[in-house]
Amino acid sequence: MNKKTIWITGGSTGIGRALAIKFSNKGWNVAISARREELLHELENKYENISAFPLDVTDKAKCKEIFEKVKNKYNNIDIVFFSTGTWNPKKEKDIDVEQIEDVFKVNFFGTLNSIKAVEEYFKSRKEGIITIVSSIAGYRGLPNSTGYGPSKSALNNLAESLYFDFKRSNVRICLVSPGFIKTPMTDKNNFKMPFLKSTEYAANKIYDGLINTNNFEIHFPSQLTLILKLLGFLPSKLYFGLIGKLTKYQKKN
């Protein structure tokens, strides 16, 4: 049994789910984690090579325990893809400290717990890919994003830091920065999302970036991400002016 294996967190819906199906269709073993067991089992029952490993990533010890279970089942883990995330646009307009703590618990510390669980394994294996799903919202500050944007910005910095540390062990750290993808998360948005894409589109881009390139960052769609990257170079005054105008224009009503 020499099949390759990927462990995906956030596998119950959205981008993680679509990526699980993509890898499964490519013949990989796929271990999927998230809290909603029934959604994980639905996928497990439909795809022979997908297995469910329910997990709440805010539980540090559980992250380690579940990764042990994944390892015991498959022996070799080639890629991990940490895609858990939360976003509640209604609560991002004001500074709600408890809400921001909750967002960080999932988006930043949940991802950190998952990375910690695999650290030793990958450092001694001396190959493989650890994937951190961030967002274009992590590039620079955006309006109405008091928790989500900062949590993703912290992930970007963490990924760059880990890049150096894991490179010494020949392990690739990969940062994924999606633009707008239609998922249960973005279905909550009440603004027009430019260049909105499907989860299948995202899964194809991610699969290609992980398997066929050795890049640090996988970002898409480039029509949007390249503009945002250029805006990132602007001095603050120009950046605030342009983003202020663009986001007002994008409001639905």
Ligand X SMILES: NC(=O)c1ccc[n+]([C@@H]2O[C@H](COP(=O)([O-])OP(=O)(O)OC[C@H]3O[C@@H](n4cnc5c(N)ncnc54)[C@H](OP(=O)(O)O)[C@@H]3O)[C@@H](O)[C@H]2O)c1
Question: For binding to ligand X (CB under 6 A), which residues are involved?
Answer: 9-16, 34-36, 39, 55-58, 83-86, 106, 110, 133, 135, 178, 180-181, 183-186
Residue 81 bridge partners (DSSP) = 8, 131
CA 216, CA 176: separation in Å to the nearest integer? Answer: 9
| Residue 140 CB neighbours (<10 A) | 18
- Owner of token pair 């646009």: 89
> Which residue number places its CB atom closest to ligand X?
14
Alpha-carbon 27 to chain mean position? 22
Q: Which is nearer to ligand X, 184 or 241 (CB)?
A: 184
Q: Which is nearer to ligand X, 63 or 171 (CB)?
A: 63
* Closest to 131 measured CA to CA, from 159, 151, 152, 103: 159
* Parallel, antiparallel or unpaired: strands 5-9 and 217-220: unpaired
* Closest to 169 measured CA to CA, from 208, 212, 118: 118
Q: Which is nearer to ligand X, 68 or 127 (CB)?
A: 68
Residue 8 bridge partners (DSSP) = 32, 81
**Least distance to ligand X from the beta carbon of 217, Å?**
13
- 3 state SS of 130: strand
Q: Which is nearer to ligand X, 16 or 150 (CB)?
A: 16
- Owner of token pair 């990526």: 19
**Least distance to ligand X from the beta carbon of 219, Å?**
10
**Least distance to ligand X from the beta carbon of 52, Å?**
11
- Owner of token pair 């005054």: 237
**Least distance to ligand X from the beta carbon of 123, Å?**
24
Q: Which is nearer to ligand X, 47 or 169 (CB)?
A: 47
**Least distance to ligand X from the beta carbon of 87, Å?**
6
**Least distance to ligand X from the beta carbon of 153, Å?**
12
Q: Which is nearer to ligand X, 48 or 187 (CB)?
A: 187
Q: Which is nearer to ligand X, 58 or 76 (CB)?
A: 58
Q: Are 27 and 49 in contact (CB under 8 A)?
A: yes
Here the tokens at position 49 are: 């090579």
**Least distance to ligand X from the beta carbon of 10, Å?**
3
Q: Are 210 and 22 in contact (CB under 8 A)?
A: no
Q: Are 14 and 38 in contact (CB under 8 A)?
A: no
